[in-house]
Amino acid sequence: MDAALCAFGADGSVTHWNREAERILGWTADEAVGRQGLAGWAVRKEDADEVEARLLAATRAPGRQVHEFALLTKDGRRVLVRTQSSAVLGPDGRAAGVYCAFSEVHTQIDLERSIALSEALFVDASWAVVLVDADLRPAVVNAHAARALGMGRTAVLGRPLGDLLIQGVEELESALTHVLAEGTPPAAAELWVTLRSDEAEQTRRCWRSGFVRLASPLAEEPVPLGVGWLFQDVTDAKRTEQESALLRFRAQQLHRAGRAAGECEDPTEAAAVHLDFALAGFADHGLVDVVRRGTGEDGGAGEGGGSGEGGGSGHPPESAPALVRAIASPAGAPGPSEAVPPTGIPVAYGAGHPAAQALERCGSVRAGAGPAVAEGWAAARKWPDGTVHGLCVVLRSRGRTLGVVTFLRGPSRRPFDRADAAYAEDVASRIAAALDLAGEVTGGSAGG
């Protein structure tokens, strides 16, 4: 047995003594069996009467009796042990002796602590706790983990992780496999996952996860029983952290762009500098289209009008102003944005184009190809191949509409959101000021 065991006959003599008892106290079975009681060898004489009385009291009481007292080792040391004693009944139903299982108190306390910790983790813990077996299937989950997974505690058990998660399952399985093979990692990991129960919303969550390998203490060689996976949902904190970092980066980009643009002699070059700094980490391509200069006497950029009406531009008053490409980032190899030669030929935007809508609304317009990108979606909008997300922002300066700046993203990036539109509007105000200055310098409109 793993526990120390000794037994006493009805007369108090030692009848059994196992190897664990020999390991703890040092007395062999040959030295122990046959002795009368424990006095003088396994217990101090001063304590012998009390100890033997406690042990033999089990013959007069039902069930097991638990006691703690000090025993002596063969080399004279005292060892505090916890005993469980119970009567051994004879054929006539009367007590024929007593058996006593005992272990060192600190070992027993360690075991009880481990059991108590395990029960607390799976009942009261504020962290989610999942016991994953060697087949990478949940074997035990606590209530917190079940809520995080969006399922009942019993519904999770035995199911492949792919039945619980849409995204992040590969990273999680890789982490669990590594722990089974290599042991507990030195630090927690942050895993971004999407629950299958949230498939309609596609909400990504960040779980800060810790892993511990579980091995049987009874095996001669460590045999993995599974992995203890503890995690906590830190999505809100991570999103706040990411948003703060993004705001700091964008503010720094605006500051750097302003410093660099201030060194440009040509205002149009300054506008291109603002566009280049804005693209970093924000979009794949950028386009600046300006309202075509009208043929009226003043030739001002304001002829396009903030309302989208082309008063002196050669269009009927109800038609939208024509847009001419002024600046564009390279669509192929990366490089700086450059001014486009002023041909005066309008970009062939179709009806309802996001840039035309931005002019009409005098604001920002977001466009996206959707989950299933239709062939020719980008080409129909005169955007570079591979574009799936667009953001058009009107260029306004001194109460006049100068044109539209367009930011484009490919499929590897997420769609533009409101925070992106606010940043794009900050950039657009700087580009508009530079283009307005360019029109003043040349004595005409920004698009001239």
Residue 303 has pLDDT above 80, yes or no: no
Closest CA to 153 of 140, 166, 169, 163: 140
Chain segment 229-269, per-residue pLDDT in tens:
999 999 999 999 999 999 999 999 999 999 999 999 999 99
DSSP labels for 53-115?
A: HHHHGGGGSSS-EEEEEEEE-TTS-EEEEEEEEEEEE-TTSSEEEEEEEEEEHHHHHHHHHHH
Going by the DSSP 8-state scheme, the letter that residue 198 receives in this structure is: G
pLDDT reading at 189 higher than 70: yes
Edge-to-edge strand ranges of the sheet holding 165-167: 138-141, 128-132, 224-233, 204-215, 189-195, 165-167
pLDDT grade for 394, boundaries at 50, 70 and 90: very high
Tokens describing residue 212: 């511990």
Q: So what's the pLDDT on residue 273?
A: 95
> Which segment of 104-113, 160-169, 248-257, 425-434 scores lowest on mean pLDDT?
104-113
- Name the pairing type of β-strands 138-141 and 65-72: unpaired
More confident residue, 308 or 128: 128
Residue 396: strand, helix, or coil: strand
Is the pLDDT assigned to residue 296 strictly greater than 60? no
For 69-74, the CB contacts below 8 A with 24+ separation are: 69/43, 70/43, 70/44, 71/24, 71/25, 71/38, 71/42, 71/43, 71/102, 72/25, 72/41, 72/42, 72/43, 72/44, 73/24, 73/25, 73/26, 73/27, 74/25, 74/26, 74/27, 74/31
pLDDT tens digits, 60-107: 878 788 888 888 889 888 888 888 888 888 888 788 888 888 888 877
Place of tokens 């386009």: 287
Q: What confidence category does residue 312 fall into, taking pLDDT thresholds of 50, 70 and 90? A: very low
Under the banding of pLDDT at 50, 70 and 90, the label for residue 445 is: very low
Q: What is the pLDDT of residue 308?
A: 34
Mean pLDDT of the chain: 84
* Domains of the chain, first to last: 4-108 (3.30.450.20), 125-234 (3.30.450.20), 264-293+320-442 (3.30.450.40)
The residue with greater pLDDT, 371 or 151, is 151
Name the packing angle between helices 267-279 and 235-261 (round to 10°).
Answer: 160
First to last CA, the chain: 96
The whole model's pTM is what?
Answer: 0.61
